[in-house]
Amino acid sequence: MSGPELGLAVSVFLACAVEAVEALTIVLAVGATRSWSSALYGAGAAVIVLAAVIAGLGPAVTALPIHALRVGVGALLLVFGLQWLRKALLRAAHLKALHDETAAFEAEAAAARGHARGVARIDSYAFAVSFKGVLLEGLEVAVIVLTFGGNQHRIGLAAAAAGAAIIVVVAAGVAVRAPLARVPENTLKLVVGVMLTSFGMFWGAEGAGVSWPGADAALLVIIAGLALASAVMVAWLRRAPQALSEAA
Amino acid sequence: MSSLATAARAVWDFIVGDDWATAVGVLAALGITALIAGAGAVAWWVMPVAVLGLLALSLRRAAR
């Protein structure tokens, strides 16, 4: 496996794992309070829709001209990656609350308990909430699979990495029978943000006509440089919130 | 709001999120990179500089 392919697999695995943890919390909440079968049907239906999106759009993405594909992929990865990175850095600097899976589980369960039950065999509320939760959490992963995989013509590898992450998270959820509150979600999000932004920079610039010094090795320098810059920005945010407020 | 406008809003929120200035900055940086590279000059430095600048500005806006 080449360096960029390894980067692809790790990035997709981590991104999918983080989103799967959040989706699992929703499925567990409606499953435990309403109906396990309906919640699982909803989650399964969403996974089928996401797989269909990847299978349907994958060939179209890989058929695009390489320069146009790289600019488009680079722009998308940069926009997504900078969003992930910004939120993760703000959380690391204690300027934004950490995502609390236990609190999210309690809120989702309370909403599920307060909703009236029907008499049908399938609990439509549990199905719909589970379906929507998995679909929304998974949509960004589907785009990451398509962009990362399409650019390297390795959509199968990207999809396999995403599938492996889902299996790991579901197995962990079944083992602990509770929301995965101990997963260091923000650290994973920070790593994913660095990876998406770095690949976005690398491919976007290549698509725009740039030849990177050192070719593919430049990617490692970009990743290391962005990780270092992220650490510096967290330190800056932790030390200077008052200065930022005064400058406003 | 029509269903078309609702769908457009959902796509905008999904891709751009809550920081449109960064998305615009990314597109501008890619455009500037293409212009410089097209002119035959060294352009690899544009994206790293632009991304670090955009991230710092975005964090500054969010932290205020």
Residues of chain A with pLDDT under 70: 116-120, 240-248
B4 falls within a domain: no
B42 falls within a domain: yes
Q: Give chain B's radius of gyration (CA, Å).
A: 15
CA dist A131 and B20 (Å) reads 29
- Say what the pLDDT of residue A245 is: 52
Nearest CA-CA partner of A67 in A192, A194, A211 = A211
CA dist A78 and A99 (Å) reads 23
For residue B34, what is the nearest residue in chain A, using CA coordinates?
A208
B57 falls within a domain: yes
> How many Cβ atoms from other residues are within 10 Å of residue A217's Cβ?
11
- Say what the pLDDT of residue A205 is: 95
* B40 contacts in chain A (CB < 8 Å): none
State whether B17 and A83 contact (CB < 8 Å): yes
Angular region, A232: left φ>0, alpha ψ -120 to 50, beta rest: alpha
B45 falls within a domain: yes
Backbone angles phi, psi at A96, to 5 degrees: -145, 140
Give the ipTM of the model, two decimals please.
0.91
Domain spans, chain A: 3-241
State whether B55 and A82 contact (CB < 8 Å): yes
* A212 contacts in chain B (CB < 8 Å): 44
Nearest to A75 among B26, B60, B64 (CB): B26
The CB-side HSE value for A200 (13 A sphere, CA atoms) comes to: 30
State whether A245 and B64 contact (CB < 8 Å): yes
| A54, A142 contact by CB (below 8 A) | yes
Q: Average per-residue pLDDT in chain B?
A: 90
CA–CA min distance A85, chain B (Å): 8
* B44 contacts in chain A (CB < 8 Å): 205, 210-213, 218
Nearest to B47 among A95, A204, A211 (CB): A204
Fill in the DSSP letter of residue A121.
S
Fill in the DSSP letter of residue A65.
-
A12 touches chain B (CB under 8 A): no
B12 falls within a domain: no
- Say what the pLDDT of residue A118 is: 66
Q: In which domain, by residue range, is B35 found?
A: 18-63
State whether B30 and A74 contact (CB < 8 Å): yes
Nearest CA-CA partner of A161 in A7, A50, A26, A2 = A7
- Say what the pLDDT of residue A248 is: 46
Q: Which structure tokens are listed for A193?
A: 């943000």
Higher pLDDT residue, B62 or A181?
B62
B43 falls within a domain: yes
Nearest to A79 among B16, B46, B60 (CB): B16
Q: Which structure tokens are listed for B9?
A: 């809003």
State whether B47 and A90 contact (CB < 8 Å): no
Size of interface A-B (CB pairs under 8 A): 99
State whether B22 and A82 contact (CB < 8 Å): yes
- Name the band, by pLDDT with cuts 50, 70 and 90, for residue B18: confident
* A90 contacts in chain B (CB < 8 Å): 59, 62-63
Q: Which structure tokens are listed for A248?
A: 């406003």
| A16, A172 contact by CB (below 8 A) | no
CA–CA min distance B18, chain A (Å): 9
CA–CA min distance A174, chain B (Å): 30
B14 touches chain A (CB under 8 A): yes
CA dist A159 and A146 (Å) reads 9
**Mean pLDDT, range B17-44, rounded to an integer:** 93
Number of domains in chain B: 1
For residue B33, what is the nearest residue in chain A, using CA coordinates?
A208
* B58 contacts in chain A (CB < 8 Å): 82, 86
- Say what the pLDDT of residue A96 is: 83
| A197, A78 contact by CB (below 8 A) | yes
- Name the band, by pLDDT with cuts 50, 70 and 90, for residue B36: very high
